Amino acid sequence: MADGVVVVGSDDGNIYARDALTGKKRRTYPTRREVFSSPSIVDGTVYIGAHTGFVYALDAASGTER
Rounded-to-integer distance, Cα 2 and Cα 62, Å? 12
Query: Residue 66 pLDDT more than 70?
Result: yes
Rounded-to-integer distance, Cα 55 and Cα 47, Å? 7
Rounded-to-integer distance, Cα 19 and Cα 4, Å? 6
Rounded-to-integer distance, Cα 51 and Cα 2, Å? 24
* pLDDT at position 1: 61
In the chain the domains, ranked by start, together with CATH numbers, are 5-59 (2.40.10.480)
**pLDDT tens across 12-36, in order?**
999 999 999 999 999 999 998 999 8
Based on DSSP, count helices (H) and strands (E) in the chain, helices before strands. 0, 6
Q: What is the DSSP letter of 60?
A: T
pTM of this structure: 0.84
